[in-house]
Amino acid sequence: MHGIRTAAQAKAWLDQQGKSVQEFAREHGVDPATTYQVLSGRKKGRRGEAHKVAVLLGMKSGMTAPDLDQTQR
């Protein structure tokens, strides 16, 4: 990935993959409502599940919990 995506770019990326927000959320084990909130800007993705969603969508650089577990080994 090159750079951080905006919300519009993240939505376009999902469209390019032919995935709905619901499908994306199910595949990654995150709450669909939180995913919609991150994409709409109501949640900034600063901590918790919103942070995880933002990282998975490429809207924020960072690590999710499984990534952290692997770096600690």
pLDDT in tens, 16-48: 999 999 999 999 999 999 999 999 999 999 999
The string over 41-72, giving b where at least 16 C-beta atoms fall within 10 Å of a residue's C-beta and e elsewhere, is: eebebeeebbbbbbbbbbbbeeebeeeeeeee
- Please report whether residue 35 resides in a domain: yes
**Which has the higher per-residue pLDDT, 37 or 73?**
37
Q: How far apart are CA 23 and CA 15, in angstroms?
A: 11
Number of domain units in the chain: 1
- Please report whether residue 1 resides in a domain: no
Q: What is the pLDDT of residue 2?
A: 63
Residue 10 has pLDDT above 80, yes or no: yes
Look up the domain containing 27 and give its range: 7-71
Q: What is the pLDDT of residue 17?
A: 95
For residue 19, how far is the Cα from the chain centroid? 13
